[in-house]
Amino acid sequence: MSHDERDKAAEAQASLSNERTFLSWIRTALALIVTGVALVAFDIPVDVGWRLGASAILLLLAIANAAQALYSWRANDRALRHGEEIPVLRSGAWIAWGVVASVLLLLVGWVMT
């Protein structure tokens, strides 16, 4: 395999990896949406106000997650095409902390109910 062929293969692999990462973030956003809706739809033993609060956090996280997925995919694609460094992901920790906050809200609501 020539040097040019290896470069094209590596470029294709990086592009496909970027697309898989994008789709993974979209699946995460969908999971956050489903969980947020389920908190309101199902009758779990937590007062409705606490469930609505946790659900709102999850739905806002889903929006942020989908927006971050699109932004990162485009920025990574641009960097790959121009031979630049891949930008650092900065929103992953915020999404994780948001999920933790939502779970804590549910736990407090469960204890208070």
Kindly report, residue by residue over 24-58, the tens digit of the pLDDT: 999 999 999 999 999 999 999 999 999 999 999 99
Q: CA-CA distance, 14 to 79, in Å (whole number)?
A: 11
Altogether, the residues listed in the chain come to a count of 113
Are 19 and 70 in contact, with CB atoms under 8 Å apart? no
Give 3-20 pLDDT, tens digit per residue: 677 777 878 888 899 999
Are 56 and 105 in contact, with CB atoms under 8 Å apart? no
What's the distance, Cα to Cα, between the start and end of the chain in Å?
67
Mean pLDDT of 71-100: 90
Residue 16: CB atoms within 10 Å: 10
Mean pLDDT of 98-103: 97
How is residue 100 written in tokens?
A: 């933790």
